[in-house]
Amino acid sequence: MASIGDNSGNEAALARQAEILAQPLTEDRIMANAIRALAIDAVEAAKSGHPGMPMGMADAATALWTRTLKFDAADPTWWDRDRFVLSAGHGSMLLYALLHLTGHEGMGIEQLKTFRQLHSPAAGHPEYHEHPAIEMTTGPLGQGFATAVGMALAERMLAAKFGKSLVDHRTWVVAGDGCLMEGVSHEAAALAGHLKLNKLCVLWDDNSITIDGATGTSTSEDPLKRFAAYGWATRRVDGHNFAELQAALAFAQKSSKPVIIACRTVIGFGAPTKAGTAGSHGAPLGGAEAEAAKRALGWEQLPFVVPEDVYKPWHEAGARGAVTRRAWLKRLAKHPMRAEFERVMQGKLPEGWAEAMSAYKAQLAETKPKLATRQASQKALEVLVPAIPELVGGSADLTGSNLTLVKGMAGVEPGNYAGRYIYYGVREFGMAAAMNGLALHGGLIPYGGTFFVFADYMRPAIRLAALMGVRAIHVLTHDSIGLGEDGPTHQPIEHLASFRAMPNVLTIRPADAIETAEAWEVAVKNTTGPSLLVLSRQGVPALRDVANGNKVARGAYVLAEAEGKRAATIIATGTEVSIAMGARKALAAQGIQVAVVSAPCFELFAKQDAAYQAEVLGDAPRIGVEAACGFGWERWLGANGVFIGMTGFGASAPAEVLYEHFGITEAAVVKAVTSAVNA
């Protein structure tokens, strides 16, 4: 069975399938077969897709959606609905079929017929925003699960704040073998187990098949034993036995721990030859096999046709939660915290926070503190955290370095979710995914810290945040060779470029305390994507004396204009802006007048109009300074610009030694300017 790389027939699975198919058809099975038939038809019509998973998990999904899942198809945005996350996102037709059958608007037969076509809400993988009932974008394996942990945590935190009468729902996940093999499943499961997120339940599609063949080709682990080690409750069921499924779901609803249910299934259930093999996973069954599968299931309908007597119980299931929802709406209407609850769930910022920040910035303009920007970030948080109660922090075990914790924030603890600070552990990817879940759930604005270099560990989750348009704020400290002795493994070089290249991410590297405050303002207001605050370990002088408005919001601006005509323009970011300012002074002493442009956010500057860009960049020769690789700087420096920065990896030494060693100094800038001016 488990011979290496074997993708051939699976006799045991076929025998099990035959035995199940020989049983009399029940209403549950007929309802599940509607999912199977729609999945088969949509994949055949699209000529591509993944029929195996929807066919295998149709029974489990039917059990969950018809009796247990709290939802009302009439309003998929109901705040107290259960969340359902299809972590095995390739099985998207499972979700679309469920939405269709339960009567969700916007997922009619015509939408299913356009499965995987341009502008269809039934995209290849579930895409957030394509339909209001799609809780998140899934497809990159493991991340649905890890994000769901954040959703489940959000529920607990909001319940602690607003009470059970407003917040009392569960988070359900369908995950495949691939999800459980991914490393992030470990981080997420360990965090969920630690925090005792008992309202989280994972249905594992335990089908013993991966793309390369039997799971035995590449894995021998016992996942339930592993999850038990994390503090989860575990159950094993026949994934085609409704009684067992219902019993397990009932168990999950009473558990004091997060729950994983191994649903032993036959992938491609119903397909006469491809069931139980990787052959049913990622390609259409093909006309003959598709026909035969429907026959075997007892489904005698034309493609995309569901009989009314099958729609009926499905529509009833879709309306099952209506009473509960109406009762909840009544409770909300008279709840003393209604306004606050609605505000946070709508993602609206509270009154007063902007004024508090303005006052803080005015104070900075006066006191001109020399601070590392990570310290400045902490000071900004000291203003923001009291002003924005939905702001919740955390760090991947670098709290004292990231300076993400401020006074008055208590830690979220197992069983006690009243705190606002999450100790994520050494789990960067798990943290970023959980942050996405906190944001997606609604009601919270998550920020989390790690070293900038370890943004690589969580890059897949940042990408998913960008794709979904989720407000997650990453506090990324120790942003360059300026971190010093820890050496090249800890020194970001290409990270700024790599995130500037990613669509819909704001990568912000502020130069001083005022810019850091402005960066926080931008991040908090950026509701349509993640923001990365890239912050220094080492101190920088105050560079700004005016704090009106928000200059970071324009991406780049003239920090210091040349006295008279510009001989050159020095463009710098973060800690290198003060180097540029030093060079400007030294050059002025030589009679060379240059402007210094601070460019904390390339993405925002790129959005400004051409006139503003031209005004900032000027016509004079341009010199760029950044303690990072220069990839992508050409856009702003033009064809003849000069870049002063890194050309390879860093080294282990004190920061000031490294700046000297790599030639990122005031003297180097002065030399580059004089060369350019004399050229």
Looking at beta carbons only, is 82 or 205 nearer to a copy of itself? 205
Catalytic residue among 135, 390, 428, 666: 428
What is d(CA 248, CA 251) in angstroms, rounded to the nearest whole number?
5
Sheet with 557-560, strands from edge to edge, namely 557-560, 594-598, 568-572, 622-629, 642-646
* DSSP code of residue 123: -
Evaluate whether 672 touches 640 at the Cβ level (below 8 Å). Answer: no
CA-to-CA dists, residue 174 to 203, 239, 271, 426, 438, angstroms? 5, 12, 21, 26, 19
Please choose, from the candidates 169, 144, 143, the residue with its C-alpha nearest in 3D space to the C-alpha of residue 155.
169
**DSSP SS3 for 561:** coil
Looking at beta carbons only, is 61 or 646 nearer to a copy of itself? 646
In whole angstroms, how close is the CB of 307 to a copy of itself at the nearest point? 29
Surface-to-core class of residue 408, CB atoms within 10 Å of its CB (0-12 exposed, 13-18 middle, 19+ buried): exposed
Q: Which residue ranges are tagged as binding site?
A: 50, 90, 139-141, 177-178, 207, 209, 281, 374, 401, 454, 478, 486, 490, 537
- Amino acid letter at 151? M
Give the pairing of strands 473-477 and 445-451.
parallel
User: Given phi > 0 = left and psi -120 to 50 = alpha, else beta, which region is 392?
Assistant: beta
**DSSP SS3 for 508:** strand
In whole angstroms, what separates CA 579 from the centre of its chain? 35
In whole angstroms, how close is the CB of 68 to a copy of itself at the nearest point? 27
**DSSP SS3 for 464:** helix
Looking at beta carbons only, is 98 or 617 nearer to a copy of itself? 617
Q: Which residue ranges are tagged as binding site for Mg(2+)?
A: 177, 207, 209
Please choose, from the candidates 495, 515, 499, 498, the residue with its C-alpha nearest in 3D space to the C-alpha of residue 507.
499
Largest distance between two CA atoms of the chain: 94
Looking at beta carbons only, is 213 or 600 nearer to a copy of itself? 213
Evaluate whether 446 touches 129 at the Cβ level (below 8 Å). Answer: no
In whole angstroms, how close is the CB of 458 to a copy of itself at the nearest point? 10
Quick one: three-class SS letters along 404-418? CCCCCCCECECCECC
Dihedral sign for Cα 550, 554, 560, 563, please. Answer: negative
Q: Which residue ranges are tagged as binding site for thiamine diphosphate?
A: 90, 139-141, 178, 207, 281, 454
Please choose, from the candidates 115, 128, 93, the residue with its C-alpha nearest in 3D space to the C-alpha of residue 45.
115
Structure tokens at 561: 């204009």
Location of structure tokens 């069921």: 237
* DSSP code of residue 454: G
In whole angstroms, what separates CA 13 from the centre of its chain? 36
Q: Where are the beta strands (DSSP E) in 331-461?
A: 371-372, 391-395, 421-423, 445-451
Looking at beta carbons only, is 90 or 325 nearer to a copy of itself? 90
Location of structure tokens 């290198």: 576
Within 10 angstroms of residue 222's Cβ, the number of other Cβ atoms is: 11
Looking at beta carbons only, is 336 or 400 nearer to a copy of itself? 400
In whole angstroms, what separates CA 645 from the centre of its chain? 31
Q: What is the CA radius of gyration of the chain?
A: 28
* DSSP code of residue 309: H
In whole angstroms, how close is the CB of 363 to a copy of itself at the nearest point? 28
Please choose, from the candidates 156, 159, 140, 239, the residue with its C-alpha nearest in 3D space to the C-alpha of residue 191.
156
In whole angstroms, how close is the CB of 529 to a copy of itself at the nearest point? 11
Looking at beta carbons only, is 430 or 482 nearer to a copy of itself? 430
The secondary structure element, H or E, covering residue 65 is none
User: Residues with Cβ < 8 Å from 146, sequence gap 6 or more?
Assistant: 184, 185, 187, 188, 429, 430, 433, 434, 437, 461
In whole angstroms, how close is the CB of 380 to a copy of itself at the nearest point? 21
In whole angstroms, how close is the CB of 98 to a copy of itself at the nearest point? 19
What is d(CA 448, CA 409) in angstroms, rounded to the nearest whole number?
14
Looking at beta carbons only, is 202 or 547 nearer to a copy of itself? 202
Looking at beta carbons only, is 219 or 301 nearer to a copy of itself? 219
Q: Which residue ranges are tagged as binding site for substrate?
A: 50, 281, 374, 401, 478, 486, 490, 537
CA-to-CA dists, residue 281 to 89, 120, 304, angstroms? 12, 22, 21
Give the pairing of strands 200-206 and 259-264.
parallel
- Amino acid letter at 517? A
The secondary structure element, H or E, covering residue 585 is helix 576-589
- Amino acid letter at 657? V
Does the annotation count 428 as an active-site position?
yes
Looking at beta carbons only, is 33 or 208 nearer to a copy of itself? 208
Looking at beta carbons only, is 18 or 426 nearer to a copy of itself? 426
Give catalytic residues, as residue numbers.
428
